[in-house]
Chains A and B, each alone.
Chain A
Amino acid sequence: CLSDLIETFRAQLRDDPDVASAVAAIRALLGFLKQDRGETIQGLRNSLRDAIDTLSRVDSSVAVSSGGELFLRFISLTSLEYSDYSKCKEIMIERGEIFLTKVSLSRNKIAKLCHPFIRDGARILTHAYSRVVLRVLEAAVESKKRFSVYVTESQPDEAGQKMAKALRKLNIPVTVILDAAVGYIMEKVDLVLVGAEGVVESGGIINKIGTNQIAVCAKAQNKPFYVVAESFKFVRLFPLNQQDVPDRFKYKADTLKTGQNLTEEHPWIDYTSPSLITLLFTDLGVLTPSAVSDELIKLYL
């Protein structure tokens, strides 16, 4: 049954490369919920925890973890309202479907909120490959704005090249720059726009390695640093520095499994503190970093 889960998850990512990994995780978990033969909420929660662990062993990103946490919270909240288990399960499945429809609209909502902030003639710097940023820039093009984009190459997987290719398809003038060239290019840039893999409680973000550097350079030169992220990426972490980000997020799942000495490995993500971020664009609205913790409290406490 758990192997079915992994198969569903992988199949979704294969069939639709545009889907966010957290959404794929939640959809797979919903399918798992439908097939569950248990009779109690407690049993359900335990089997869901196992399922989430399995998924994070396949894909160790922060997004999958936050999606799983959210789903578990969703189960707890729904189960508080109905004491009859079978009725509860029906409602859960129904609400789960509604939730999935809503989050599929979230990228469009964000694009609508964010594109007015891109002026005509703006020069934007972005980092690695983010589908949300792509959608925002698409919306800006649709509203007839002219702008140019600098993308960092984003080693070690050259995600920036992928982003550049996608942007060229939209007829946006793109320049790929070295990760090391961010400080050099910052004076030419009007604003920085990045996605996020996770948004932490303090209002900071966890994103592809290199984001923190860009944020520090942007602050030093007084350029606005905007983050676009869907609300299901909000995660219950409060890192105070880079060390505090758990190792299970920093490295890929395969690397963690081999169990070798992690000090030799290069981390894939870093943490950007909220003081460096100007605004966060989410499907819950435009938020200042201090508003993020409010949102998380409303959900989890």
Chain B
Amino acid sequence: SGELMDLIRTEGQRMTAAQPSETTVGNMVRRVLKVIREEYGRLHGRSEESDQQESLHKLLTSGGLSEDFRTPYPSLRANVIEAINEMLIELEGTTDNIAMQALEHIHSNEVIMTIGYSRTVEAFLKEAARKRKFQVIVAECAPFCQGHEMAVRLSKEGIETTVMSDAAIFAVMSRVNKVIIGTKTILANGALIAVSGTHTLALAAKHHSTPLIVCAPMFKLSPQFPNEEDSFHKFVSPQEVLPFTEGEILAKINVHCPVFDYVPPELITLFISNIGGNAPSYIYRLMSELYHPDDYEL
């Protein structure tokens, strides 16, 4: 199984290099590697509770080198395939799992704010709308204005929706009870990489002491730390910000259109994922359950 893991790792490296901002690809590869390690360990006869992680305890009691994955086990393949199928079923059910928790968090006559378009948040709000009456304010999230689509979908379900521009976020925040957002990636320290404009929203919420709830499935949790400030940035054509028709100005100025924003963990109140609600300071623990430390660097 050592060879299998090497194969998967090489493929994983190729895929993540192709599209670095899609961190879920790397996350899934790491999950599969962890599954293989677990299944191998189970067949090898190690107890199920034994800790795979480095810890002080392990440092003191271990007798020798870490295990190599050379012993062949014929049933390993079937076990791994079964575990991966279980994982697939879990992945397909994540949005429903998150939506089921909606009623605990949204109460009647509340004003909820969100930004841009997130399928998870859409499902979350729709599920709550079946039993409760509340209002939603959607920040349009320029320049792609995905907030408009979110607002259309929510209003089709009969939820009272308002769209406003990103500049008005702070102005309206005093009337908002909760902020619920989706995200692109969750980093290892509990921070977010989300659509451009989210950091502003988070700061405004912190200023007004409004709880900021992030709805995201666990496969978005990535074991990376925000080491280089520019490492996650993806820029797209500045056409959206300043169209090419404004030809004269273009020669004299630099135009950028970043897609993502970094939100530090202090601004976030709660993460709602398919395994329940968690505080940002607990993310490290969830990470150790999903991935093996040797796989953090693919």
Contact = CB atoms under 8 A, between A and B. Distances in A.
A299 interface: yes
Interface residues of B, number: 25
Contact of B282 (A232, A278, A290, A299): A290
Interface stretch (B17-25, B50-58, B104-112, B237-245): B50-58
Given A98-B63, A117-B227, A288-B281, A283 B57 contact: no
Nearest to B55: A298
Interface string B216-243: 0000000001011100000000000000
Contacts of A299: 55-57, 60
A73 B284 contact: no
Interface in A91-126: 91, 94-95, 98-99, 102-103, 116-117, 119
A36 interface: no
B56 A290 contact: no
A102 B62 CA distance: 11
Contacts of B188: 286
Interface string B31-75: 000000000000000000001011111011111100000000000
A221 interface: no
A207 B228 CA distance: 27
A286 B225 contact: yes
Nearest to B64: A98
Contact of B56 (A94, A234, A286): A234
Contacts of B60: 70, 73-74, 77, 95, 99, 299
A279 interface: yes
Interface of B: 51, 53-57, 59-64, 188-190, 225, 227-229, 281-285, 293
Across chains A and B, which 5 residue pairs bring their CB atoms closest together, nearest first? A299-B56, A290-B281, A291-B284, A74-B60, A117-B227
Interface of A: 70, 73-74, 77-78, 91, 94-95, 98-99, 102-103, 116-117, 119, 231-232, 234, 278-279, 283-288, 290-291, 294-296, 298-299
19 contacts: A77-B57, A77-B61, A91-B63, A98-B62, A98-B64, A99-B60, A231-B56, A231-B59, A234-B56, A278-B189, A279-B189, A284-B55, A285-B54, A285-B293, A287-B284, A288-B283, A295-B55, A298-B51, A299-B60
